[in-house]
Amino acid sequence: MATETIEVAGHIVDSLLLAKILDTILDAGCDYEITDFSIGKTSLDPSRARIDVSGDDEVLSPLLDDLQVHGANRSEQREATLEAAEVDGVLPAGFYSTTNLATDVRVGGRWLPVTNPEMDCALVLTADGEAHTAPMHRVRAGDRVVVGSDGVRVHVPQAAPGTQVFEFMASEVSSEKPKALLVSRVAERLRAARERGAKVLVVAGPAVVHTGGAPDLARLVEAGYVQVLFAGNGFATHDIESNVLGTSLGVSIAEGVPTEGGHSNHIRVINEVRRRGSIAAAVEDGLIPGGVMAACVRAGVPFVLAGSIRDDGPLPDVLTDVVVAADTLRSYLPGVGVALMLASTLHAIATGNCLPAGVETFCVDINQAVVTKLADRGSHQALGIVTDVGPFVRQLADELLSER
Amino acid sequence: MSGASVGIGALTPPGGLAWGRTFVMCPPQHFGVLYEINPWMHREVQVDPDVAYEQWETLVTTLRSAGAEVLIMDPHPEVPDLVFTANAGVVNGGQFVPSHFRHPERQGETEIDAAWFADRGWKVDRLPVALDHEGAGDALPFTPEGGRTVLLSGYSFRSDAPAATALSTLLGCPVRPIQLVDPRLYHLDITFCPLDGRRAIIAPLGWDAYGRRVVEALVPEPLVLTDEETLSFCANSVVVGRTVVMPTVPPRVGRQLEAWGFTVAQSRVDEFLKAGGGCRCMTLAIDTVLAPSAPPTPTDAPATG
């Protein structure tokens, strides 16, 4: 799929030339978007249109030749300037710093779509002519990096059909929204994602376990509503602790009271998992009978656990090199259509930084500041829901699974 | 057409064209089918120079009898198609926009035409170099009663669509490009002949669907030619007041024109049809005014020849 911009001017309305050009584009199986149009004020004034034409490469080129006959010419476009990185992990000065919007780079007279939009990265052109974003540390000496902003264009996301939930939520994040309605709309989006084969990414914080939402999240994993899980040492530890010992941070999940010696429960659980080498091994061994992590292992849902400096243990699966952790997360992002951030601040923001703007993002947190911070990260489709995460996940699971 | 409307049309003929009283023509001393740049031209078909000259002179006489003034341009041995003066350029009062010919065989005509007009007081304005446009052969005005003159401009075989925009800017009049789709009808003037403020002979065979709609919207009472009538070149006619000088007169077309109050005069130009040109192709009206902003037509244009 490629996009080219054409321009046509003159008495293109009265002469039906514009109608003919647009019909010709559609007849060829391509699509158009009129990005700029000025209509002549009198019968003498020329009208002008700038049209983005998109279609398959092999159709687009002959189509544009045809359109030239009718006076529609490719607009003059500047090429992207490329400069080779001199040192591993260092970008050329003046590198183009990306947004999370869908982006195209113009090279060799054509617009190349950037395969993985991500903010605060560089644009790198591979030898086989593919344009992709690369975080600074991944750039290698000799990589061709786009410098300046010539030959780069970004697309502001268009509201896709069926995304009214976002229009509904376009107002400020607030705890005053009717929760039941929100839950059912989130459920609707998850169902829609499943129908179109898009992946759902869940980012979960420890509060999901503390508030009793873990069994419901596990139900969602088992039912196939989650394709990737991203979390930290805390979430995984408390999920395992609650399933092995019935407590979360030493507090009984069932009774809500601290248990004797409970303060060390999570350390002991981590130790036992470390003894077995991995969470998967501990599930297989029967140590971990249930919970979100066990559900992921059993359902083959990949999880990425990113560590931090305050982690106990950590669990053997935790990636303690943050750069490796971020890159691992990135490797699971292609195909993600919906991101559900559940009571997580740091991991949610880290994920938000990596996601293309087109991914529908729901951020659920009891703290309005966290929700606002995430929703404001420039993601055009981020929706904040201020609520207690446990009941939210339960309602969501009930809504999604009750029909089954 | 019903008898009633014929009667009313004949009794109250609408005003004729405001142009078409002064023409420039070029005698066919050097004319012949020396190359093939349209489907009608075949080098093995010989033109009889004497017959050609006789037919050309008859056309001049016919036009003069109809009340037209005909100026004569000197022929030139290197450009045999100079005889088709309709392709010299577009005239707008005292402004002349010379053609940019698509085929190298005719490109030598441009400066000869430009010089002819410049010498006689016309202001010569040029199209952008990259754009082809073959003058009045691909651009004919229609002025609806009480409306503004619109120039219809054919494109694809000889002229470029964007030339319409360039012409509009130069001339100060709306120009609507019409796509020509039949290679046999390679110029607009084989498919369109304005008659007055309501009527025109039109040949939809030559146009795409959009072009047809544009002309239908512009011309209230078109005389729509059948394909057979179209290919007889009868739209390539010259209108002088209420007289229509035609290379061929299909019976139905002749009857309709007469019913509308026109006098039909046939002027055979068979030798020129061998090169794909009819009566209109051999004339260029130099009294067309397309926009109110046009400079005045030079009054000191002497008849030569």
Do the bridges between strand B89-92 and strand B123-124 make them parallel or antiparallel, or are there none, so unpaired? unpaired
**CB spacing of B165 vs A15 below 8 angstroms:** no
Nearest CA in chain B to A7: B162
Q: Which residues of B touch A69 (CB under 8 A)?
A: 155-156, 161, 179
- Secondary structure of residue B283 in the 3-state scheme: coil
**CB spacing of A11 vs B179 below 8 angstroms:** no
Q: Where are the domains of chain A?
A: 2-74, 81-155, 164-401
Per-residue confidence (pLDDT) for residue B273, from 0 to 100: 92
Task: Give buried/exposed letters for A175-198 (b at 16+ CB in 10 A, else e).
Answer: eebebeebbebbbebbebbbeeeb
Task: Yes or no: say if A295 and A221 are a contact pair by the CB < 8 Å rule.
Answer: yes
The separation between CA B67 and the C-alpha centre of its own chain, rounded to angstroms, equals: 18
Cα–Cα distance between A385 and A402 in angstroms, integer? Answer: 22
User: Which residues are CB-contacts of B95 (< 8 A; sequence separation ≥ 6)?
Assistant: B122, B123, B125, B170, B171, B294, B295
In the predicted model, what is the mean pLDDT of residues B149-158? 94
User: Which residues are CB-contacts of A78 (< 8 A; sequence separation ≥ 6)?
Assistant: A106, A150, A151
Residue B201 has pLDDT above 70, yes or no: yes
**CB spacing of A46 vs B177 below 8 angstroms:** no
Q: Which CATH number do you get for residue B117?
A: 3.75.10.10
Q: What percentage of chain B carries pLDDT values higher than 90?
A: 82
Task: Yes or no: say if A397 and A216 are a contact pair by the CB < 8 Å rule.
Answer: yes
Residue A56 at interface with chain B, using a CB cutoff of 8 Å: no
Does residue B300 lie within any of the structural domains? no
Residue B42 has pLDDT above 60, yes or no: yes
Judged by CB atoms within 8 Å, which residues 21-50 of B form the interface with A? none
Residue B164 at interface with chain A, using a CB cutoff of 8 Å: yes
Residue B164 has pLDDT above 70, yes or no: yes
Angle at CA A233, nearest 5°, toward A227 and A238? 90
Per-residue confidence (pLDDT) for residue A150, from 0 to 100: 86
**CB spacing of B168 vs A14 below 8 angstroms:** no
Which single residue is written with the structure tokens 């059912």? Answer: A184
| DSSP labels, A94-106 | TBPPP-SSEEEEE
Select the CATH number that applies to the domain covering A2-74 from these four: 3.40.50.1820, 3.40.50.300, 3.40.50.920, 3.30.70.2690.
3.30.70.2690
Residue B156 at interface with chain A, using a CB cutoff of 8 Å: yes
Task: Please count the residue pairs, one from chain A and one from chain B, whose beta carbons lie less than 8 angstroms apart.
Answer: 62
Residue B168 at interface with chain A, using a CB cutoff of 8 Å: yes
User: Which residues are CB-contacts of A112 (< 8 A; sequence separation ≥ 6)?
Assistant: A2, A104, A105, A106, A125, A129, A130, A131
Residue B171 at interface with chain A, using a CB cutoff of 8 Å: no
**DSSP letter (8 states) at residue B40:** T
In the predicted model, what is the mean pLDDT of residues A218-243? 96
pTM, two decimals, is 0.61
CATH architecture assignment, domain A164-401: 3-Layer(aba) Sandwich (3.40)
Cα–Cα distance between B48 and B271 in angstroms, integer? Answer: 7
Per-residue confidence (pLDDT) for residue A234, from 0 to 100: 95
Does residue B244 lie within any of the structural domains? yes
Does residue B236 lie within any of the structural domains? yes
The separation between CA A69 and the C-alpha centre of its own chain, rounded to angstroms, equals: 42
- Secondary structure of residue B19 in the 3-state scheme: coil
Q: Per residue in A234-254, pLDDT tens? A: 999 999 999 999 888 888 878
Residue A379 has pLDDT above 60, yes or no: no
Q: Which of A8, A14, A16 to mutate to test the interface with B (most CBs of B within 10 A)?
A: A16
**CB spacing of B214 vs A9 below 8 angstroms:** no
Residue A167 has pLDDT above 90, yes or no: no
Give catalytic residue positions of B. 187, 281
Q: Which of B131, B151, B210 to mutate to test the interface with A (most CBs of A within 10 A)?
A: B210
In the predicted model, what is the mean pLDDT of residues B192-210? 96
From B160, B173, B214, residue closest to A15, measured CB to CB = B214
Flag the least confident range among A103-112, A175-184, A239-248, B24-33. A175-184
Both structure tokens of B44: 């093995």
The band of B2, judged by pLDDT with boundaries at 50, 70 and 90, is very low
The mean pLDDT of chain B is 91
End-to-end CA distance of chain A: 38
Flag the least confident range among A54-68, A332-346, B71-85, B252-266. A54-68
Does the domain at A81-155 match CATH 2.40.50.140? Answer given as: no
Per-residue confidence (pLDDT) for residue A156, from 0 to 100: 64
Flag the least confident range among A282-291, B35-44, B100-109. B35-44
The band of B57, judged by pLDDT with boundaries at 50, 70 and 90, is very high
- Angle A214-222/A389-401 helices, nearest 10 degrees? 30
Contacts 24+ apart (CB under 8 A), A304-309: A304/A228, A304/A229, A304/A230, A304/A231, A304/A328, A304/A329, A304/A332, A305/A231, A305/A232, A305/A233, A305/A236, A306/A230, A306/A231, A306/A232, A306/A347, A306/A350, A307/A232, A307/A233, A308/A232, A308/A233, A308/A346
Nearest-neighbour CA in chain B from A75: distance (Å): 14
Residue A39 at interface with chain B, using a CB cutoff of 8 Å: no
Angle at CA A204, nearest 5°, toward A198 and A206? 170
Flag the least confident range among A35-44, A295-304, A338-347. A35-44
Q: How many domains does chain B have?
A: 1
Phi, psi of A64 (to 5 degrees): -65, -35
